[in-house]
Amino acid sequence: MNEILIFLSIIIFLIICSGFFSSSETALTAVSEARINELVTQGSKRAKLIERILKNREKMISTILIGNNLVNVVASVYATSFAIMYFDNAKLALVTLILTVILVVFAEVIPKTYALKNADQIALSVAPIINLLMMILTPATLFTEQLARIVTGPIINDEEAKTEELKGMIRLHAGEKSRAIERGKMMSSMLDMEEVSIEAVMTHRGTVTMIDEKSSANEILKVAGDSPFTRIPVYSGTKDNIIGILHAKELFRHLQRSRFENINKINLSEIMIEPYFAPETTLILDQLEVFRGRKEHFAIVVNEYGDFRGIVTLEDILEEIVGDIDDETDIDVEGVKSQPDGSLIVEGSVTIRDLNRSLGWNLPDEKYNTIAGLVLFESKTIPDPGQEFRFFNFKFRILQKKSNFISKLRIWNETGSINEK
């Protein structure tokens, strides 16, 4: 009887150990890293320990698997040896079956199910023991890690995959509630800031309001008065040679200082400010940091040759995150017009990114920014009015062309109806 009690005590202990390893593996792989990071900022020592363990996942998994398999093997061998000594062959098979069921249920299913539901709490509880075992079993884990690398190859840290996973989690969390969906879009846009350049959100040079430094006072006042923008680039000779930025408030102060006398004598060089130039390849997030550091809201975008490409403002970047921001000075430019047949009349300068965001399309914008640029690149020609093309399940018909620029075209979405917002 004493021997049976000892046997049962040892088996129960081994099952508890196996359950510990099973629950630890599930908890540490399912733990919320965001939650742990928050606890670290609050000074939790166990959270810091989990963070350190998760930085070496290979070693953690190897340690847990070695411990778990070692316990299971010992339990099986011990139970088999005991059964051989005290039972005949028929009962031996029964004991083996019972032990298998007990191990599966109490050492695998129940611990893992509980750990999955309480991953954070279990991970915080087991972290010290797992960390100690990782140090003790270092020689064995090093051997298994090297063997695994030989068989499966090195682990690749795919940041893009992690970003896509995070976007998927955001969409999953958003569900179908309108406010949650909008928040999800904002969070996804913030992730894109590290991948999208200012070229994708800038106002292209063809639609930028500009002033020639040789303009008369009346022309300057007219341009500044008609424009909805407070900052207007000033150029000398050609539009690629931007020499300053005229601020509408500075123009008003200049006139106010002169008590609105000599209005016909406006010297732009006295009131315009020095322009700030930004490369078109600058990422949106980097440009936002520059705006904050320089305390500026406006930049001239240039290409690698220094040619003027467009302008980007702080509002452009914020709109990339939160959507369109309209104010009382905004003018509705009909760059996109829906037609009775379901097609759209689109200005060539409209950006693909704006079309994708507003209409739910998925046109590529890696190699071009405007809808005119897409047609030029994909057709590999400069088309004439009346020509039609089909790309990406869309039909494009050229309506107007100014010089070599496609100024207006009609687009049909051949995959379904166009839902314009």
Residues 314-325 pLDDT 10s: 888 877 776 655
Nearest Cα neighbor of 128 from 43, 18, 52 is 52
pLDDT given at position 267: 79
405 pLDDT more than 60: yes
396 pLDDT more than 90: yes
Residue 387: phi, psi to the nearest 5? -75, 150
pLDDT given at position 300: 92
- pLDDT tens digits, one per residue of 295-305: 888 999 998 88
Q: What is the mean pLDDT of residues 255-262?
A: 75
9 pLDDT more than 80: yes
Contacts of 350 (CB under 8 A, 6+ apart): 335, 336, 370, 371
Nearest Cα neighbor of 242 from 265, 274, 268 is 274
pLDDT given at position 301: 92
- pLDDT tens digits, one per residue of 133-146: 888 888 888 887 77
Least confidently predicted of 43-47, 113-117, 175-179: 175-179
330 pLDDT more than 60: no
* Total Cβ atoms within 10 A of residue 46: 17
Rounded to 10 degrees, the C-alpha dihedral 336/341/343/346 comes to: -30
pLDDT given at position 277: 92
pLDDT given at position 331: 41
Give me the numbers of helices (H) and strands (E) for the chain, helices first please: 17, 12
181 pLDDT more than 60: no
What is the band of 329 on the pLDDT scale with cuts at 50, 70, 90? very low
Q: What percent of the chain has pLDDT over 90?
A: 10
pLDDT given at position 155: 56
CA–CA separation, 303 vs 286, rounded Å?
17
- pLDDT tens digits, one per residue of 50-106: 888 888 888 888 889 888 888 888 888 887 777 777 766 667 777 778 877 888 888
Q: For 194-307, list the strands marked E by DSSP.
A: 203-204, 211-212, 231-236, 238-247, 277-279, 298-302
Q: What is the mean pLDDT of residues 264-268?
A: 78
Q: What is the mean pLDDT of residues 19-47?
A: 87
Mean pLDDT of the chain: 80
CA–CA separation, 278 vs 311, rounded Å?
9
Tokens for 253?
């102060």
What is the band of 185 on the pLDDT scale with cuts at 50, 70, 90? low
Tokens for 284?
């949106």
pLDDT given at position 255: 82
Please report the sign of the dihedral spanned by the C-alpha atoms of residue 156, residue 159, residue 160, residue 165.
positive
Angle, helices 33-41/45-54, rounded to nearest 10 degrees? 140
Sheet strands side by side (includes 298-302): 203-204, 308-313, 298-302, 277-279
11 pLDDT more than 80: yes
Residue 399: phi, psi to the nearest 5? -105, -45
Contacts of 180 (CB under 8 A, 6+ apart): 173, 174
pLDDT given at position 339: 79
CA–CA separation, 306 vs 240, rounded Å?
8
Name the range with the highest mean pLDDT among 16-20, 53-57, 351-355: 16-20
pLDDT given at position 180: 52
Sheet strands side by side (includes 394-402): 336-338, 344-347, 405-413, 394-402, 388-391
Tokens for 405?
């620029």
372 pLDDT more than 80: yes
Least confidently predicted of 30-44, 46-60, 81-95, 371-385: 81-95
